[in-house]
Structure 1
């Protein structure tokens, strides 16, 4: 099949990570895959090297500092749409698969993966979000919980194909050996003992809730640091960041803000952590938490139905700052959930299996779509 995968960014956001890994797995299975993206602010490549078997098309997208979020969304849709339109006719793609609301609005008839549901107030974002669920010819979700939310809100039933994870990469970073030992040691020399949070500082990630909990923990474990990684986003969270900074000062904390972490350094950063704090208020799957489990790092997650579905009893759950604190203390002390079941769970989420399920989905929906109903995909044995 000739497959176009469309994503809105070159940065290491969850949906972009998913797009690249799925595309590479499909290419390994013999498909002709092209990934389309917007090159924001002069970017001309993704955050990591992409398998040469996958063609990459970056549509230039100039930065404008005086632009509102709504105007940026509208211009993103128009720019991607113009860049893709001519090529779509020439390439005769069998499948056009959009991975976010901007892409789905830009490229015309497509399949859409709904990674999670957001609540927006900006009119352009509300419209973008709604139309990117209503208009695609077929829909996927990475968890049953999000699919159920889509069905309740829009009256259509997406097919569920869970995320994959590169579990071997994160397991290797946690294993004993000269290179992996040195990788973890570099982070521990720089940071000491630390709790890690990935995804940046933003409302959906529960960042302020985490610093409230960590202030309590810090009184009991003053040598432990709180470390935030990631943070590239399309949206304007400056007011939330200001509130975050104000609360950090009031609590007397000094968290480490790494920003975007180089992809080659990420597994060691995760593997060297004492725990991963994953206290998002909304998620579609929890890829960062699954990567931590692959590295045998204990995870403390907010008690959400979607995370219960994905992780079962392999992580510790919390609901407020006190329970987050207690769960993190248990993780640091080694009295939380055992790490072996989490490592085993991560190993079952193989990208090649995910690619096979997508093949079945593409074949089932064809050019006519899913007619608003989930596709019954055949069960497959794991490939390894």
Structure 2
């Protein structure tokens, strides 16, 4: 089959990582795959080499443009480019932005869209964009049962679960080769968060937890990696840094980390912090498990579904926050950094096995089956 996957960015965000790995796995299964994406900031390629055809649509910067206007313009630019693309057997958008572009280019009647997680917007144009990408496509797919349940409850649409993969061998090999040692020499026994500073990643709560950890007499630097996004989170970042300053927490913010360096950074961490308030699967945490790094996660239904038995959960079930959550999260981090309870080696083995079980080839097979079930292939 000729399959077109589309994603909103060239940067190493979870949905983009998913798109590229899925495309390569579908190609290994014998299909003709191409990936389309928006390229901002003068990007001329993805964050890594890609083993399928790629098409990038430039989005020139306009000074003073609002986030909402930039997103709507991005949709128009991608739609215009897709309208001139050749026919394919499967059109598969990986987010609401590219679903809107595909719909504008060739309609929604045969469009597949993956819902990685559900966003919450307040700008009318973005609310409409989000709604359209859930209502109009011919079929929706989800990466977890928890997200599929949200889609069913909110929109009455049954979405097959196709799962998510992880390049477990890459992170396991980095740990085995000692690639984390230079990072430990640089930062000491550090707590790592990947995904940048934004509300959905729970960074503010993590900063409060790191302060509570220090109050327990446990000193560990917080290292934050990643973070490129379409949205403007500057006010949130300023709030996080102001809170950190008031609490005496000094996070080391690395920004996007080169692809070749990421496995070593993950493998070197003493603990991986995953206090997200919303996730569809948790790819970054799964990579940490593959490297044998203990993970402390917020107690969300989707993370219980994906990680039960392999990670430590903090807080009450649901989206706990505030001082109570920070103290509970600090307690779990303290146990990890102190060596944990006797069962932790077993938990680490469970984590490695869990990560290794999420093969991209298996995920590709699930997609092919889903394409057939929803009638687009």
TM-score bracket, normalised by the shorter chain, equals over 0.9
> Is it true that 1:104 corresponds to 2:99 in the alignment?
yes
Partner SS state of residue 36, structure 1? strand
What is the match of residue 294 of structure 1?
290
Alignment partners' CA distance in 1, 2:28 and 2:374: 22
Q: Give the TM-score, by structure 1 length.
A: 0.91
Alignment partners' CA distance in 2, 1:261 and 1:157: 37
> Is it true that 1:323 corresponds to 2:319 in the alignment?
no
What is the match of residue 382 of structure 1?
none
Partner SS state of residue 39, structure 1? strand
Alignment partners' CA distance in 1, 2:314 and 2:284: 17
> Is it true that 1:342 corresponds to 2:351 in the alignment?
yes
What is the match of residue 136 of structure 2?
135
> Is it true that 1:65 corresponds to 2:63 in the alignment?
yes
Q: Is the 8 A contact 1:191 1:225 kept in 2?
A: yes
Residue ranges of structure 2 left out of the alignment (5+ in a row): 316-324
* 1:239 corresponds to which of 218, 229, 235: 235
| 4+ residue runs over 3 A deviation | 219-223
What is the match of residue 21 of structure 2?
21
Partner SS state of residue 180, structure 2? helix
The 5 A counterparts of 1:196-275 are: 196-221=192-217, 223-275=219-271
Alignment partners' CA distance in 1, 2:158 and 2:261: 39
Q: Is the 8 A contact 1:314 1:339 kept in 2?
A: yes
What is the match of residue 158 of structure 1?
159
What is the match of residue 114 of structure 2?
113
Alignment partners' CA distance in 1, 2:218 and 2:326: 17
What is the match of residue 321 of structure 2?
none
Q: Is the 8 A contact 1:70 1:123 kept in 2?
A: no
Q: Is the 8 A contact 2:10 2:47 kept in 1?
A: yes
Alignment partners' CA distance in 1, 2:126 and 2:29: 36
Q: Is the 8 A contact 1:73 1:124 kept in 2?
A: no
CA deviation profile, 1:100-152 (whole Å, cap 9, x unmatched): 00000001221000000111111121111111010111010001111111111
Q: Is the 8 A contact 2:213 2:219 kept in 1?
A: no
Displacement of 1:365: 2.0
Alignment partners' CA distance in 1, 2:193 and 2:169: 21
* 2:375 corresponds to which of 366, 370, 375: 366
Displacement of 1:220: 3.5
Alignment partners' CA distance in 1, 2:217 and 2:49: 39
Displacement of 1:161: 1.1
How many residue pairs match? The answer is 358
Alignment partners' CA distance in 2, 1:351 and 1:333: 35
Alignment partners' CA distance in 1, 2:231 and 2:26: 30
CA deviation profile, 1:218-273 (whole Å, cap 9, x unmatched): 23455411000011010011110110111011011111000001111000100000
Distance verdict in 2 for CA 1:269–1:221, change over 3 Å = farther
- Calculate the aligned-residue CA RMSD, in Å: 1.1
> Is it true that 1:82 corresponds to 2:80 in the alignment?
yes
Alignment partners' CA distance in 2, 1:81 and 1:142: 25
Distance verdict in 2 for CA 1:360–1:98, change over 3 Å = same
> Is it true that 1:171 corresponds to 2:176 in the alignment?
no
Q: Give the TM-score, by structure 2 length.
A: 0.93
Q: Which moved more, 1:191-200 or 1:326-335?
A: 326-335
Alignment partners' CA distance in 2, 1:157 and 1:322: 38
CA deviation profile, 1:73-124 (whole Å, cap 9, x unmatched): 110110000011111xxx2200000000000000122100000011111112
Alignment partners' CA distance in 2, 1:167 and 1:331: 22
Alignment partners' CA distance in 2, 1:355 and 1:221: 47
